[in-house]
Amino acid sequence: MLIIFFIVSTVFGAIIFFAKSKVLSRLFFATFIVFQIALCIYAYLHPDMEDSLFYKFDSLGVLLTIVLTILSISTFYYSIIYLERKATKAKSESTYFAALIMFIAAMTSANFTENIALLWASIEATTLFVSVLIFHERTKDALEATWKYLFISSVGVAIAFIGILFMSIIGSKNGLSDLNFQNLATAAHNINTIWLKISFLLILTGFSVKLSLFPLFAVAIDAKTVAASPVNALMSTALTNVGFISIFRTYTIVAHTDALGWAQNILLLTGILSIFIAAIQLTRVKRLKRMYAFSTMEHMGIVSLGLAVGGIGYYAALLHIVFHSLVKAGLFYQINQIHALYKSKWINDFGGFFKISPVAGLSLLLGFISITAMPPSGLFVSEFLIFKALFIKNQIAIALITIILLTAIIYIMAKSFLRILYAPKPLNIEPMETFNSESVIPFILFGLVIYLGINPPLFFTDLIHSAIAVLN
């Protein structure tokens, strides 16, 4: 099934790339989306089914792919708006869509793959395709960011690969021919944990590029600064989720060995460091997109804390990553209009958004409440659960530091958001056409998060529970 899907998407990508026609590209992309949805449903209906050699429809994959699909639909919509606004030429538009298809396909493969090496390969693929998207605007900044992103990701992926090699050592010691996660997990029992530790360390470091987590957080932020906002919406949600999956799956291998405590400490360390750095960098941030990027980093830090403490922390981490994806995507969709309106990326040029386009302003306000994890936002629930877990596991110091940092972050973000919404409107901007249609999807996404937080439906919680079943 998946093989077919990949073939189809490659073909589509190729067609779009070479056809160089707006109509065709959009048409094919739409059909691709349909395929994607079909795949989702298929995967959801066949839980834990082995598929085409290296793949398996496990709950985590399904969950995150559903998120990916939802977001790719909306991204398609906003990409069209974005490209229209920029009056893009057919050529570059076709490149854009081709890359987008391949990007999504690669992420799908990363979500579902069972084999660590293949996971690695697909992540590498995402790097290549996403850099095309980052470079889409062809500006100096874009060039710089793309270079940095490409280079650091390549190095990071290389580092991760060493980790995978070590994993393969573990495999070979138990006479494994392949590198399936489950087999590795079973193999991991009877082995000197030092291998495990080092490989986990290397993989974490390598894939921290994708997860925009300490230590290799920086380039992802630069990339998000220049990329088109719909692409950002995918980069800081679906792509980070891919990074998360890679860490999560590696973690499942470690989880049943003596190395668990060690791994937890490492995750706690990276988590708290990420939150700390995000907090302090936010005091300097001047571009809205960068602010969002750093907030992504902060949330990923929280997620890794959740993963580290275990218990309800696992559940909370997954909950958090899903909610964060939805909210952050909604915010990035909003940016699209803000930039178009003020013709600037700098927060200081914004102001009076609420007056100029009330509905969008309202959605932005809701977005602010949601992203800063204030009730009723679902993120509050997940964060709350993570804190609870931290306290139960007696990580009080970590919890308190995190709380302080989060408060600081809320303060900083509140300043920027309220500036955009309420500060006196800059003189040079002329009122342009209303955006209300554009604000619908963010409203839906934020509303969805609130609903899922307050009263999660059964299938949702079941997915999460079965996803974390491997851990405990």
Partner 1 sequence: MTLLFIILYAATLIYFALSERVRMFVVLLSIQGALLFGVVFFSLYKIELFDFIFILIETIMVKSIIIPWFLNKVRKHNNLKRVHEPFVPVFYSIIVAVISLLFSFLVSNYLKENQIHTVYFTVAFASVIFGLYFIIIHKNLFSHLVGYLIIENGIFLFSLTVGSVMPLMVNLAILLDVFMGVLVLGTFVNRIGNTFDSIEIDQLSKLKD
Partner 2 sequence: MLYLKITTFASQMDTLLFQTAILLTFALFAIPKHFQYYWGLLLHTSIIIISSFWAIQSLFINSEALKIAFMPFMGNTLYIEIDKLSAFFILVVNFTVLTGFIYAKGYLRPYLEKKNKIEMALHFFSFLWLQLSMLLVLMFRDALAFLIVWELMALSSFLLVIFESEKKETIRIGIQYLIQMHIGLIFILLAFIGAYIGSGGAFSFEGLTEYFYTHNPFGVFFLFFVGFGIKAGFIPLHSWLPHAHPAAPSHVSGVMSGVMIKMGIYGILRVLTYIHHELLYIGLLILAISLISGILGVMLAIVQHDVKKLLAYHSIENIGIIGIGIGLGVIGIAVNIPVLTVLGFAGAILHVLNHSLFKSLLFFTAGSVYQQTHTRNIEHLGGLIKKMPKTALFFLLGALAICGLPPFNGFISEFLIYSGIFKSLLPGNLLTDVILLISFTGLALIGGLAVFCFTKVFSIIFLGSPRSDVVAHAREVENTMIVPDLLIGFMIMVIGFFPALFISPLASVVGLFTKDTSSIQQMIPILNNISISSGVFIALIGFLWILRAWQQKKQLLKQEATWGCGYTGANPALHQYTATSYADNIVQLAKPVLNVKKDFTPFKEGEIFPEERVFETHSSDIMEDNLIIKPSDKILSWFNKIAVFQTGKIQHYLLYALIFLIVITIITLLNWI
Q: Tell me which residues touch partner 1 (CB under 8 A).
A: 117-118, 121, 124, 128, 131, 140-141, 143-148, 150-151, 154-155, 157-159, 161-162, 165-166, 168-169, 171-173, 176-179, 192, 194-195, 198, 222, 225-226, 284-287, 290
What 454-463 contacts at long range (C-beta under 8 Å, 24+ apart), as own/partner pairs, is 454/376, 454/378, 454/381, 456/319, 463/59, 463/62, 463/63
443 in contact with partner 2 (CB under 8 A):
no
H-type alpha helices, 137-180 = 140-173
Does residue 222 contact residue 144 with C-beta atoms inside 8 Å? yes
Site string for partner 2, 398-437 (x = CB under 8 A): -----x---xx-xxx-xx--xx-xxxx-------------
Does residue 339 contact residue 345 with C-beta atoms inside 8 Å? yes
Query: Among residues 26, 56, 136, 197, which is the contact residue for partner 2, using CB under 8 A?
Result: 197
CB of 226 to partner 1, least distance (A): 8
Does residue 54 contact residue 139 with C-beta atoms inside 8 Å? no
362 in contact with partner 2 (CB under 8 A):
yes
Query: Among residues 43, 83, 245, 279, which is the contact residue for partner 2, using CB under 8 A?
Result: 279
243 binding partner (options partner 1, partner 2, none; Cβ < 5 to 8 Å by kind): none
CA–CA separation, 305 and 328 (whole Å): 19
CA–CA separation, 472 and 466 (whole Å): 10
Name the percent of the chain in helix, strand, coil, to the closest 5.
Answer: 80, 0, 20
CB of 469 to partner 1, least distance (A): 28
Query: Among residues 62, 275, 302, 369, which is the contact residue for partner 2, using CB under 8 A?
Result: 369
CB of 222 to partner 2, least distance (A): 8
Give DSSP secondary structure letters for 251-298.
HHHHHTSTTHHHHHHHHHHHHHHHHHHHHHHHTT--BHHHHHHHHHHH
358 in contact with partner 2 (CB under 8 A):
yes
80 in contact with partner 2 (CB under 8 A):
no
CB of 422 to partner 2, least distance (A): 4
Phi then psi for residue 190, to 5 deg, are -95, 75
448 in contact with partner 2 (CB under 8 A):
no
Give the footprint of partner 2 on residues 208-267 (CB under 8 A).
208, 214-216, 218-219, 221-222, 262, 265-266
CA–CA separation, 126 and 76 (whole Å): 18
Nearer to partner 2, 14 or 165 (CB): 165
